[in-house]
Each structure stands twice: as C-alpha cells, then as structure tokens.
Amino acid sequence: MSNGNMNLTLKVWRQKNAQTSGKFVSYKAENISPDMSFLEMLDVVNESLTHKGDEPINFDHDCREGICGMCSLYINGHPHGPKRGITTCQLHMRTFHDGETITIEPWRAEAFPIVKDLAVDRSAFDRIQQAGGYVSVNTGGVPDGNAIPIPKVIADEAFNSATCIGCGACVAACKNASAMLFVSAKITQLGLLPQGQPERYRRVQSMVAQMDEEGFGSCTNTGACEAECPKEIKLTNIARMNNDYFSAKLFREDEVHEQGH
C-alpha cells in the first residue's frame, strides 16, 4: 500500500496502561512517501503490525487537519515534531530524510497520565475549563449581535487567544509541565471582550485554582510553550493572566467572593 522510497527506523514508546511501565520498541517504516503525513506513516506501520497479528501502536488523532487538538506525539524531542506552528497531523514526511531514526514519545506530564502507548489523558484541561472558562449566559434573552460593538483590534486579539486547540503541547514542552499558556489563552480571550468583564476576576481565580489542583507546574518564563504551540499562542497571554490574577487577589477578593458559587 505504501508507494514511496523512504526507509526509516522508529523508536516508539509502548506502554499498556498507566499501571504498568513502558519501554521503547524499534520498528521499521518502509517505502514511505514524502507526501504522507506523519500519522499516515504510522498508519502504514500499524497496518503491517496488524497483518503480523501484533498489536498496533495506539495514538490519539481525529480530524487530521490541524484543528481538533486530539493528536499529540513528542517527536525527536519536540511536541508535534520539529516544524513550527503545526500539529503532528500536518507534519509531512518530506520533513525527514531517508534512513533517519525518529523517536516518538507521548506527552510527559504528571497531570497527563498515560492511557496507552502514545495516548495520554488530558481531561485535566476540561476540568480547568469547567471551573470558569465561559461567560455565564443562558440560551435566549441575549442582546442583538450588533448591540455589542467591539473594536476590531480587540476582537482580533481575542481571536488570536481563542485559536488554542487544547492539545497540551505547551505542557509537554515545559520543563515544569506548566499549563499556564493554555489557561491564560481562555482568560485572555474572555478578559479582552466586553462579554467577559462581569466574571473576569472570578474566572481567573477559579481556573488558576483548578490548574493548581490538577498538579501542573509553575511558569518559569522560559517560553518553550510559545515556541512549540501549534497555534502560536503568545507568552503575553500569561502576563495578562498574572495581571488579572494579582489584581483579583489584591483588590477584588470581596467581589470574587460574592460572585463565587
């Protein structure tokens, strides 16, 4: 089924589940086309494993167009591989050369336990969003869309933060496994927009509290998260979050307290 001329060696992390220990296993990936995506290359390997009756390599993936955030993979020491601004599913084999050995690991962070092989449990991200990543409006009874004018620059800036796909590359890239880029992106999006103002200071406190509870580390301003983020979310989001957080802690405890549930 393959139709290319690249031959590669893969060193893949195999681990049955979070309770057992894992190890690297080497595989050959043969006749790989440079036009294949990285995940299609893994498909080829998995097809041949299946034919041999071996268990295929488990990895998370879904949309394969860089937007769902499901694919992960730590490739040759980089989340989503060596290229900037893309997810693993958009990484193509032309980035590698014939004969190369490629090391493939899962995201490694205490707050992301291994599910199997290369897939991890990122439900901590959902719980952080559930703690406050929203504007509390019910369906219906909202004003007309154009009743809330928003300067284009503000809307564009909020959009930049809103492009986060929740993949977890920022955590995987960070030596402290910090989730602050992820958390700050939502806080910045809603903090910039007029719709997000009423709950701005409560939101930052509850999301940060949940982030800490999940066991993510602290930010060291190294910037590895920004460098590896497939959507190029900026470090300035973290600065905004810290600003709101300190502001909330210093001046708005009462307000936050009254709004809390």
Partner 1 sequence: MTLDAKIPQGPLAEKWSKHKFDLKLVNPANKRKYDIIIVGTGLAGASAAATLGELGYNVKAFCFQDSPRRAHSIAAQGGINAAKNYQNDGDSVFRLFYDTIKGGDYRARESNVHRLAEVSVNIIDQCVAQGVPFAREYGGLLDNRSFGGSQVSRTFYARGQTGQQLLLGAYSALNRQIHAGKVKMYTRHEMLDVVTIDGHAKGIVTRNMLTGAIDTHAGHAVLLCTGGYSNVFYLSTNAIGSNVTAAWRAHKRGAFFGNPCYTQIHPTCIPVTGDHQSKLTLMSESLRNDGRVWAPKTVEIAEQLRKGTLKADQVKEDDRDYFLERKYPAFGNLVPRDVASRNAKEMVEEGKGVGGSGFAVFLDFADAIKRLGEETVKAKYGNLFDMYIQITDENPYKQPMRIYPAVHYTMGGLWVDYNLSTTIPGLYALGECNFSDHGANRLGASALMQGLSDGYFVIPYTLGDYLAKIGPKKVDTNHPAFAATKKDVVDHVNKLLALKGTKTTNEYHRELGHIMWEYCGMARTDEGLRKAKGLIQALKADFWKNAIVTGENEEVNASLERAGRVADFIELGELMIDDALMRKESCGGHFRVESQTADGEALRDDENFAFVAAWEFKGENQPEELHKEQLTFEAVHLSQRNYA
Site for partner 1 in 38-67 (CB under 8 A): 39-40, 43-44, 47, 50-51, 53-56, 58, 60-67
Asked if 96 and 29 count as a contact pair (C-beta separation under 8 A), the reply is no
- 121: number of Cβ within 10 Å: 13
Under the criterion CB under 8 A, does residue 133 sit at the interface with partner 1?
Answer: yes
- Report the residue number, 122 or 252, with the smaller CB distance to partner 1: 122
Tokens of 7: 């031959």
Asked if 17 and 30 count as a contact pair (C-beta separation under 8 A), the reply is no
Query: Which among 99-107, 188-196, 215-223, 245-253 is the span making contact with partner 1, rule CB under 8 A?
Result: 188-196
Q: How far is the CB of 128 from partner 1 (least distance, A)?
A: 9
- Report the residue number, 37 or 178, with the smaller CB distance to partner 1: 37
Under the criterion CB under 8 A, does residue 250 sit at the interface with partner 1?
Answer: no
Give the count of alpha carbons within 13 A of 63, CB side only. 10
Query: CA-to-CA distance for 194 and 184, rounded, in angstroms?
Result: 17
Q: Per-residue DSSP letters for 171-189? A: HHH-TT-B-HHHHHHHHHH
Under the criterion CB under 8 A, does residue 122 sit at the interface with partner 1?
Answer: yes
Under the criterion CB under 8 A, does residue 135 sit at the interface with partner 1?
Answer: yes
Residues 80-99 that bind partner 1 (CB under 8 A): 85-86, 90, 92, 94
b/e per residue 60-95 (b: at least 16 CB within 10 A): bbeebebebbbbbbbbeebbbbeeeebbbbbbbbee
- Report the residue number, 23 or 51, with the smaller CB distance to partner 1: 51
Query: Which among 102-110, 134-142, 169-177, 241-249 is the span making contact with partner 1, rule CB under 8 A?
Result: 134-142
| 3-class DSSP state of 105 | strand
Burial of 118 (0-12, 13-18, 19+ CB in 10 A): buried
Residues 144-173 that bind partner 1 (CB under 8 A): 144-146, 148-152, 155-156, 158-159, 162-163, 165-166
- Phi and psi at 31, nearest 5°, equal 55, 45
- Report the residue number, 91 or 224, with the smaller CB distance to partner 1: 91
By CB under 8 A, how many residues form the interface with partner 1? 82
Under the criterion CB under 8 A, does residue 181 sit at the interface with partner 1?
Answer: no
Under the criterion CB under 8 A, does residue 184 sit at the interface with partner 1?
Answer: no
Q: How far is the CB of 220 from partner 1 (least distance, A)?
A: 27
